[in-house]
Amino acid sequence: MHRDHDVELVLGERVEAFEGERAVASVRTAAGRVIECDFVIVGIGVVPRVELASSAGLATDNGILVDEKLQTSTPDVFAAGDVARAFHPFYGERIRVEHWANALNQGQAAAHAMLGEPVSYDRIPYFFSDQYEPPDLANDTRATIAQALDLWQRLDERNVMIKVPATKAGLPAIEELTRVGVNVNVNVTLLFAIERYEEVIDAYLRGLVARAEAGEPLDAITSVASFFVSRIDTKIDAQLPEDSPLRGHVAIANARAAYQRYLAKFAGPQWERLRNQGACPQRPLWASTGTKDPAYSDVLYVSELVGPDVINTMPEQTLRAFADHGGVTRTLDADPRAAQRTLADAARVGIDLDTVTAELEREGVQSFCDSYHQLLDCIKSKLDALAPADSGRPM
C-alpha cells in the first residue's frame, strides 16, 4: 500500500547525520546508507494537557500518572492514550506513548478495568497509521459501516461507543451497525432536528427488531443520540431582534420537544417486547452545552435540560460553573406545552427551524472535514517552505 503511494519504509536503521549545505539534502544512516530527501520531519511529541486533572487532585508528571490498570491516583478514575504515563514492566519505568495504537490498546485495558476485571497493561508500544483515506465519510453509508466495524473489531470491548453522524447516509449505517454488530454501541452525533431524531430512533429500533428476529441478544447493546444544543440559539438569535423574548429559548425548546419524542418512541407494545428481551432505550445526550452568549447564564444549557435518562456532556468551563452555582431541578419535562409554544412562536416570526437545523448539520460535517484538510494544508505549506529552493525533485 505504501509503495503504491510512492512511500518507502526503511526499517532497522539509525539516523547518523543530516547532510547538506543550506538545507538538508540527504540523510546518512549508521550503516552508511545515504538517502536523498527534500525535507526531514522529526517527531518530537506533544505536551500533555493535565491542568484539569491536576486541579482535580490527580497525580501528574509529564502526563497523568496511572498504574498497570490505567487507574489514576484517585480510585475509579482512569486515563488512557497520550496523556497517560504508566509504569511499563518491560522498560522498568513510566512511559507516555503518543500514537493511535497505544490509545486503542490502553482504551481496551481501561474498559476492562472499569468493569472490575483483572488488568495489567504491558503491551509493547507500536503504531499503525491510516495515511491515505480522509475522514470524509459522513455521506457514505457503506464506508461508514466498514470503518465503524473495523474500529469496533480492533477494540472489541462492550463498554465503548462508536460515533456515527446523523446524516441521511448515517441512518442506514446506524440500523446496520445495530443489527450486525456484536455489541456495537453507537453514539449518534451531529443531531439538530427533531424529525431527524425520530429517524435515528427508528433506525435503532429497526436494528434491534432485526436482531431479535434473528435470535441475537439485545441486552448488551447501548446507544445514545447526541443533540447539539447551543449552536441552534447562536444561529437563530442572529435572525431575531435584540429585544425578542425568543432569544436564548429556541434551542432549549427544541431539546425539550425532542425529549417528548424520546418518551413516545420508547413506549408501546413493540418497545415493551424489545425491552422484555433486554433492549435498552437510546438515551438522549445533550452536547454543545457551553453558553456562547455572555448575556445568558453560563449554565443555561445544563440547568434547563435536567431530567431522567438523559446525559449532558459539558466543556470544562461549564462543568466548573455548574459545580459552583448550578441547580439540579427536574426542568426538562416540567412544561412540555411551553416548549411547543416557543417553537410555534419562532415559526410565526419567520424562523424556519428545518432550514436552520439542515444548515447546522451540513456545517457540522464540513467543519470536521475542513479541520482535517486544513491540517494537511498546514503541513504541506511548512514542508514547501523547508524544501531547498533549487531542488528539482518533486515533493
Percentage of residues of the chain with pLDDT beyond 90: 59
- Is-contact 204 325, C-beta < 8 A? no
Domain boundaries, the chain: 3-36, 51-114, 141-364
State how far the Cα of 289 lies from the Cα of 45, in Å rounded to an integer: 31
Residue 181: per-residue pLDDT: 65
Place 65 in a pLDDT band, splitting at 50, 70 and 90: very high
Residue range 242-258: average pLDDT? 97
> Which CATH number fits the domain 51-114, given the four candidates 3.20.20.70, 1.20.1540.10, 3.50.50.60, 3.40.720.10?
3.50.50.60
How far apart are alpha carbons 101 and 21 in whole angstroms?
38
Domain 141-364 - what CATH class?
A: alpha beta
Residues contacting 259, CB < 8 A, separation 6+: 284, 307, 310, 332, 333
Contact 205, 267 (CB under 8 A): no
Q: What is the end-to-end Cα distance of the chain in Å, rounded?
A: 19
Q: Where are the alpha helices (DSSP H) in the chain?
A: 51-55, 100-114, 141-155, 170-180, 194-213, 230-237, 250-265, 269-276, 300-303, 316-325, 336-348, 353-386
Q: What is the mean pLDDT of residues 314-339?
A: 95
Q: For the chain, give the mean pLDDT.
A: 87
The lowest-confidence range among 6-15, 26-35, 51-60, 323-332 is: 6-15
- The Cβ of residue 219 has, within 10 Å, a number of other Cβ atoms equal to 10
pLDDT at 168: 92
Confidence of residue 394 (pLDDT cuts 50, 70, 90): very low
pLDDT of 44 above 70: no
pLDDT tens figures, 285-313: 999 999 999 999 999 999 999 999 999 99
Set 69, 163, 235, 380: catalytic member: 163
Is 181 strand, coil or helix?
coil
Choose between 44 and 47: higher pLDDT: 47
Q: What amino acid is encoded at 389 in this protein?
A: A
Distances (CA, A) of 379 to 37, 133, 152, 342: 16, 16, 30, 47
Its pTM stands at 0.67
Interatomic CA distance for residues 191 and 97, integer angstroms: 34
Residue 393 has pLDDT above 80, yes or no: no
For the chain, percent of residues with pLDDT exceeding 70: 91
For the stretch 73-102, pLDDT in tens is 999 999 999 899 988 876 778 889 887 778
Question: Which tops the pLDDT comparison, 371 or 305?
Answer: 305
Query: Order of strands across the sheet with 311-312?
Result: 161-165, 185-191, 223-228, 283-287, 311-312
How far apart (Å, rounded) are the C-alpha atoms in residues 147 and 142? 9
Give me the pLDDT at residue 392, please.
Answer: 46
- Catalytic site residue 163? yes
